[in-house]
């Protein structure tokens, strides 16, 4: 009787260990998470566009456990003078939050800030003349703020 009970307990413990190990492996982020994060936080337009597409389909990336939260442009206007900077600010937040969580923020901050500035300048490229000049000046101000305070 004791042997059957001990065998049953041992089998239950082994099954529980297997289930726990499987659950832990399933909840761990894929090994390529750093590469995906890097590819979405570069200065190029293609990096920006790829991130925008992923943001629109976050469920497809749930295994990566990215932090998609944002406060957009923090305490600055999201659309200063009517310039739509909110999405650029959201991508900047994405980079900051996820590199901080990965413990590699300081090694990536300068690139994240540069990517933010490039994103803002791409917004400004939709304008011309004095409006474009004003937009670029506003973008420079936002960039300097995150560079110094971010």
Q: Is 2 a catalytic residue?
A: no
Tokens of 80: 């200063």
Q: Which residues contact 109 (CB under 8 A, 6 or more apart)?
A: 96, 99, 150
Burial class from Cβ neighbours inside 10 Å (0-12, 13-18, 19+) for residue 40 reads buried
Contact 40, 54 (CB under 8 A): yes
Catalytic residue among 41, 42, 54, 92: 92
The catalytic residue positions are 92
């Amino acid at each position: 009787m004791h042997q059957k009970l001990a065998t049953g307990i041992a089998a239950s413990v082994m099954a529980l260990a297997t289930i726990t190990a499987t659950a832990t492996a399933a909840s761990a982020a894929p090994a390529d998470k750093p590469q995906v994060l890097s590819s979405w936080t570069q200065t190029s337009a293609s990096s920006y566009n790829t991130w925008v597409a992923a943001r629109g389909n976050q469920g497809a990336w749930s295994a990566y456990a990215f932090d998609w939260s944002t406060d957009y442009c923090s305490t600055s206007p999201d659309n200063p003078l009517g310039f739509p900077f909110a999405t650029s600010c959201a991508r900047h937040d994405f980079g900051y939050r996820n590199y901080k969580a990965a413990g590699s923020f300081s090694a990536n901050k300068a690139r994240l800030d540069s990517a933010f500035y490039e994103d803002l300048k791409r917004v400004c490229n939709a304008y011309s003349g004095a409006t474009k000049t004003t937009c670029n000046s506003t973008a420079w101000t936002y960039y300097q703020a995150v560079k110094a305070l971010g």
